[in-house]
């Protein structure tokens, strides 16, 4: 069977059900790279210049780990998914950056997603992608539609049942329903950031798990509905400029004003859009003064002491605040 490789990095965390279903509907097999390890990150950072952001290094590492395990690698160039909303340049150039830095990679299957150029262009791009697998346009259309519906259901499941992406992912890989989280909890903390940071446990040093071990209920951006995110983004900044702004500014704005005891923003060192977006949330928190906010910047360091101290201090602060001492 013809096998399509998908690196477990960046937008994989956003769209994997959609991508997987699309290729499977077209009769291809899907290979997903294993979870991030020190070797994956080391391989990625050795190929890129030092200034590149951490998530891009992780991505290239995953591409390298797929070499020899699949017949092609799927790397979309997502330019925009909404009108007049722009994406980080690393996402635009992802297929070309990969070709330049991983010459031994199998052929790269790419697709330009740019809503700014109209829906017709998007449909043509999807058709061109599908043509690698079949000549039958009806089959491609059906695969695309099933993939889109799967993605919508996936989003609705998380937002509707308040499930974290990691729960849904683990359940999907194990073929089970996601388990219910244990109650009761000491406090609720919203952890905001891009899914490729929040759910790559190697990159984020198990932030979510550490909080849960301290009996904290963690809520994340994908538990909010699209309309909640859009409304909060509009309230905070008028409207999104960056493609994945809602999961930071929108989620941050929403949680700051809604029944959580604290908000932690997690971002990668060297991420330009994040440094701007997280600051918006920080400023809003400073103005509202109702919910504490802390931001954490991650890079390649492996020592966890600094992170642990900050998480402990933050949860203590919330705890003592609740007790009133």
Phi, psi dihedrals of residue 296, rounded to the nearest 5°: -125, 130
Extract the tokens encoding 206.
Answer: 């198990």
Tell me if 41 sits within 8 A of 202, measured CB to CB: yes
By beta-carbon proximity to another protein, the closer residue of 248 and 318 is: 318
Nearer to another protein, 113 or 285 (CB): 285
In order of 44, 45, 146, 211, 257, the CA distances from 188 in angstroms are: 35, 35, 36, 10, 13
We find the least distance from the C-beta atom of residue 6 to another protein, in angstroms, to be 19
Distance of closest approach, residue 38 Cβ to another protein, in angstroms? 6
Largest CA distance in the chain: 69
Spatial CA neighbour of 30 closest among 1, 60, 59: 1
Shortest Å distance, C-beta 316 to another protein: 4
**Which CB atom, from 161 or from 304, has the smaller least distance to another protein?**
304
Q: How far apart are the first and last CA of the chain?
A: 63
Which residues of the chain form contacts with another protein (CB under 8 A)?
37-39, 201-202, 205-206, 282, 286, 289, 292, 297, 299, 301, 305-306, 308-310, 312-314, 316-317, 320-321, 324-325
Q: How far is the CB of 221 from another protein (least distance, A)?
A: 23
- Would you tell me how many other CB atoms lie within 10 Å of the CB of residue 9? 23
Task: Output 243 or 295, the one with its CB closest to another protein.
Answer: 295
Q: Is the CB of 82 or the CB of 322 nearer to another protein?
A: 322
Q: Which residues of 225-235 are buried (b: 16+ CB within 10 A; e: fewer)?
A: eeebbbbbbee
CB of 240 to another protein, least distance (A): 24
């Amino acid at each position: 069977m013809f096998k399509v490789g998908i690196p477990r990095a960046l937008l994989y965390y956003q769209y994997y059900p959609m991508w997987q279903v699309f290729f499977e509907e077209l009769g291809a097999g899907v290979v997903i790279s294993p979870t991030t390890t020190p070797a994956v990150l080391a391989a990625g950072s050795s190929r890129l210049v030092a200034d590149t952001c951490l998530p891009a290094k992780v991505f290239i590492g995953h591409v390298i780990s797929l070499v020899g395990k699949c017949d092609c690698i799927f790397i979309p160039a997502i330019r925009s998914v909404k009108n007049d909303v722009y994406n980080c340049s690393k996402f635009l150039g992802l297929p070309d950056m990969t070709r330049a830095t991983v010459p031994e990679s199998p052929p790269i299957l790419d697709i330009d997603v740019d809503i700014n150029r109209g829906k017709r262009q998007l449909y043509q791009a999807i058709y061109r992608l599908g043509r690698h697998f079949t000549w039958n346009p009806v089959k491609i259309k059906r695969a695309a539609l099933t993939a889109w519906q799967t993605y919508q259901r996936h989003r609705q499941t998380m937002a509707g049942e308040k499930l974290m992406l990691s729960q849904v992912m683990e359940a999907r890989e194990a073929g089970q329903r996601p388990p219910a989280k244990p109650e009761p909890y000491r406090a609720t903390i919203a952890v905001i950031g891009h899914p490729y940071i929040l759910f790559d446990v190697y990159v984020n040093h198990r932030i979510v798990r550490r909080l849960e071990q301290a009996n904290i209920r963690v809520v994340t951006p994908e538990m909010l509905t699209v309309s909640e995110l859009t409304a909060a983004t509009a309230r905070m900044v008028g409207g999104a400029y960056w493609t994945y702004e809602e999961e930071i500014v929108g989620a941050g704005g929403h949680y700051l004003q809604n029944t959580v005891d604290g908000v932690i923003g997690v971002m990668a060192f060297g991420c330009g859009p994040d440094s701007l977006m997280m600051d918006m949330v920080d400023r809003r928190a400073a103005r509202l003064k109702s919910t504490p906010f802390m931001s954490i910047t991650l890079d390649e360091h492996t020592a966890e002491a600094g992170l642990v101290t900050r998480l402990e201090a933050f949860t203590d602060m919330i705890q003592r605040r609740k007790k009133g001492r």
